Structure 1
Amino acid sequence: MEFNFYPVLASGIITLLAGFIWYHPKVFGTIWMREAGLTEEELAKGNMLKIFGLTFIYSLLIGFMMMPIVIHQFGAMGMIGGGAPDVVQPESFVNFMEEYGTAYRTFKHGAFHGCMTGLFFVLPIVAINGLFERKSWKYILINGGYWILSLTVIGSMICGWV
């Protein structure tokens, strides 16, 4: 199985686009600012190049980590070996990939695993941080919802873009 960098690259763009829509004042932006205790003036003072640049880089890291979550064939590489293009592949790996190499490689399957990752992994992390920061449930659900949406789209893109 060859590594496809394009969906990972797309994951960096997806989080930016999703954030632009999700945190837009006409969607959740106004509520998020109020719940975060921020004003438009305070947000305008931020270093946007640094914020968006690091967001893109961190989103690439998320894309890399979503690959083994949404593409089950990565488990075969760890379990029975194989995958390196310049090495003779074990027969068990070749047989597995012939039979299951494209199984569950759909946008729908990736969206499911991305959504589950957001719901059962990222949302609890966001909620724990929000609870200790004494943030409201609105704040927690807005940020958690953003990550559920983003990971659903990223998972879909990574798994379905064969």
Structure 2
Amino acid sequence: MTYKNKKPTSMEPNFLAILVASLSSFVVGSVWYNPKVFGTIWMRETGMTEEKAQKANMIKVFGLTFVFAFMLAFMMPTIVIHQVGALQLAGGNATDEAFIAYMKVHGEAFRTFKHGALHGLIASLFIILPTVGINALFEQRSFKYVAITAGYWAVVMTLMGAIVCGWK
């Protein structure tokens, strides 16, 4: 999208990228929580057993997991795409002169998978890690639990950021 004209097109969310970013949490989870990776340690640290896991309502678990992952992915553009931030500063008005000027100077700068991954990782370190860490302190969870859980989200948010920012 170029901004050579005075009337740029709106910056609508890329819902396909958001959907794929949401689903990436399942792909990462299937590897991360595999017993050969961190699954066995995570189960021990949380007190989860195979019997208890089998009693879970998996439709509810996976359904709500998707909803929550979608919510994270939906907010990711505001975190990883500078142009969205500029649009927000313009009050969401893509015809605002300041926004047009910003886009004429910067255009699609930093709209890469690499840049999105960096911002996704930073967001996980400054949003997810403290959140998981605080909960773990009050729940008296171990450092291993924090490392596994926050590590999972660091990988997921890095991937989400890359997908959402780089997929134009």
Whether the TM-score (by the shorter chain) exceeds 0.5 is yes
Q: Which runs of 4+ in 1 moved over 4 A?
A: none
Quote the Cα distance in structure 1 between the aligned partners of 2:135 and 2:114.
30
Matches within 5 A, 1:61-140: 61-81=71-91, 82-83=93-94, 89-140=95-146
Which residue of the partner structure matches residue 51 of structure 1?
61
Which residue of the partner structure matches residue 41 of structure 1?
51
TM superposition shift of 1:74: 1.2
Q: TM-score, normalised by structure 2?
A: 0.89
Which residue of the partner structure matches residue 150 of structure 2?
144
CA offsets, 1:64-111, max 9 Å, x none? 11111000111211223423xxxxx13332232232220110000000
Residue identity (%)? 50
Greater RCO between the two (CA within 8 Å, min separation 6)?
Answer: 2
Alignment coverage as a number of residue pairs: 157
Q: Which ranges in structure 2 are unaligned for 5 or more consecutive residues?
A: 1-10
* Structure 2 letter corresponding to 1:21: V
Greater helix fraction, Structure 1 or Structure 2: 1
* Structure 2 letter corresponding to 1:46: A
Q: Which ranges in structure 1 are unaligned for 5 or more consecutive residues?
A: 84-88
CA offsets, 1:99-137, max 9 Å, x none? 222011000000000001111210111011011111110
